[in-house]
Amino acid sequence: MSGIGERIRNGQLWKSIFRVGIPSDRRSRLQVILHNFFLHLHPTRVARSGLKMTYTFCLGGISAFLFILLTITGVFLMFYYVPEVGRAYSDMKDIGFVVPFGRVMRALHRWAAHGMVITVILHMLRVALTGSYKPPREFNWVIGVSLLVLTLLLSFTGYLLPWDQLAFWAITVGTNMAAAVPVAGHDGPFHEVAGVAVDNDVRYALLGGIEVGPNALIRFYVLHCVALPLIAVVLMGVHFWRVRKDGGISRPL
Amino acid sequence: MGEPMIRSSMTRRQFGARVLRAGWWSLALTGIAAAWASVRFFWPRTSYTPPTRFLAGRPEDYGPGEVSLRYLESHRVWVVRGDGGIFAIVARCSHLGCRPNWFAEERRFKCPCHGSNFDAEGRVIAGPAPRPLKRAAVSLTPEGQILVDSADQAEHADAVRDPSFLVPLAEGPRRPSAEAHGRARDEGAAASEASFSGHRWKGDLA
Ligand code: HEM
Ligand code: FES
């Protein structure tokens, strides 16, 4: 058997994919990380203190894992869900009752979403408590804040999609908060000076109309399934790359 | 021998720099225009919602004390006949903007989101709502129809003092005498409750 393994690993096919063989020393271990697209985002070496479970609690890593899980389960849900006022709710019911494993898929998506909000916040807390936001890592803290906002926006936009009473009124209330923003919202202070009214404020742009309706559903769907995940992926790439460039995981002083 | 002859006041190099600058400027302007367009894209010129000005029948169509749900789905207002006349309440909770439901038996609006209660005039009875419900402007057309303008809204306190938020009940034979009015009111209240039986909520019958 080991003969077959050997033959495969020495074959042209294998070698064309994996340039570095089984790592045997420091140098080849480093090369494995450097030469792999997925691993190269990671620092080639991590200080022993950074590997300690109780330092990072892997909270950023869990957040990233949950994001991947959400992307995969989300794509599955997209095969059945149609963001149309007359269909959305019954599509959710179909996913729950007639699609094999549909309920598992939806539950995974929903629980992972709740989980990601929690782990991202805890990750931020960890970074704050270990003082890892200090130079040279200030900019990564800023990227992190953007990722937190994106995580919350993903939750918010996803919440409308089931199109049930909870979704409808939650988004009504949520977008009314946008209407209370100074100047840019029609219910906010100083809106008169900019000539802002119900039909041209930020809430109007968010909903594509003056109330939560079909336009709001398609807007939230596109934001939730395309726009926000794309931005999040780019920012996560920068986030991980900065961890590497800023000298790996911070060390306890 | 001597200087080369220069016919233009501009050197080739200067000309090149000017062209380049013009190029960069047009690129920058294109970028700004594209950015503006990408933002403006999200504010459509039309939204397919019913017009904010609409006719809501004649004053006689409303019984005394009636809170009509007829224009609720389409225009998000309740047309109400109170003591002083006909007025329109905007169906948007003053707390965070959900739509309260009218419970005819209790003569209250109750908001499903955080439980605010309002009386038939839209004043707060209970819950987190900080202000009474807003009113929409109403007027009488020359043909005697009620015209509601839900884009022209006012806070309760301003609306009750402003004649453009009330259609007074008509003078003349249609108007009941003071005592008859009182009687009509009671009967009317009963009648309007009966007419709402279809809208009763299960939990409310107990
Ligand atoms: C989508 C959300 C996020 C993901 C997926 C994510 C992911 C990660 C990962 C995998 C790490 C490596 C270390 C670790 O696992 O703790 C990391 C480090 C870091 N993160 Fe995040 N993060 C997110 C949000 C945030 C937020 C909200 C902040 C703070 C505002 C933040 C600030 C940082 C900083 C400063 C580091 C470097 C920490 C160090 O060197 O010790 N991140 N992040
Ligand atoms: S929105 Fe009506 S009580 Fe909160």
The confidence band for B3, taking pLDDT boundaries of 50, 70 and 90, is low
Which among A169, A177, A205 has the least Cβ separation from residue B42?
A205
pLDDT of B172: 44
Torsion sign (Cα): B141, B147, B153, B157: positive
Which among A169, A200, A215 has the least Cβ separation from residue B98?
A169
Torsion sign (Cα): A211, A212, A213, A218: positive
pLDDT average, residue stretch A91-107: 96
Which run of H or of E encompasses A106? Answer: helix A102-129
Beta-carbon contacts of B165 under 8 Å, excluding residues fewer than 6 positions away, are B87, B88, B135, B136, B137, B138, B154, B159
**How many Cα atoms are found within 13 Å in the side-chain-facing hemisphere of A2?**
0
Q: Which of A42-51, A114-123, B36-45, B77-86 has the lowest mean pLDDT?
A: A42-51
User: What percentage of chain B reaches a pLDDT higher than 90?
Assistant: 66
Beta-carbon contacts of B6 under 8 Å, excluding residues fewer than 6 positions away, are none
Contact B97 A200 (CB under 8 A): no
**Cα distance between residue B93 and residue A203, in whole Å:** 17
The confidence band for B187, taking pLDDT boundaries of 50, 70 and 90, is very low
Contact with chain B for residue A130, Cβ under 8 A:
no
Is residue A151 within 8 A of residue A116, CB to CB? The reply is yes
Residue B189 pLDDT greater than 50, yes or no: no
Show residues of chain A in contact with B77, CB under 8 Å.
Answer: none
How remote is the CA of residue B189 from the centroid of ligand 2, in Å? 27
Which run of H or of E encompasses B108? Answer: strand B108-110
Report how far apart, in Å, the C-alpha atoms of A184 and of each of A114, A173, A191, A192 are. 30, 17, 6, 10
Full-model pTM: 0.78
Q: What angle in degrees, to the nearest 10, is found between the helix axes of A59-78 and A228-245?
A: 160
Report how far apart, in Å, the C-alpha atoms of B14 and of each of A173, B10, B17, B76, B185 are. 60, 6, 5, 66, 90
Ligand approaching nearest to the C-alpha of A144: 1
Which has the closest alpha carbon to A217: A162, A165, A173, A177?
A: A162
Mean pLDDT of chain A: 92
Tell me the pLDDT tens digit for each residue of B22-76: 999 999 999 999 999 999 999 988 878 888 899 999 999 999 999 999 999 989 9
Contact with chain B for residue A200, Cβ under 8 A:
yes
What's A224's DSSP letter?
I
Strands B167-168 and B67-68: unpaired
Contact A199 B47 (CB under 8 A): yes
φ, ψ of residue A7 to 5 degrees: the values are -60, -45
Contact A210 B49 (CB under 8 A): yes
Is residue B182 within 8 A of residue B93, CB to CB? The reply is no
Is residue B135 within 8 A of residue B77, CB to CB? The reply is no
In B123-168, where does DSSP find H-type helix?
156-159
Which among B48, B98, B151 has the least Cβ separation from residue A172?
B98
Contact with chain B for residue A227, Cβ under 8 A:
no
Homologous superfamily assigned to B53-168: Rieske [2Fe-2S] iron-sulphur domain (2.102.10.10)
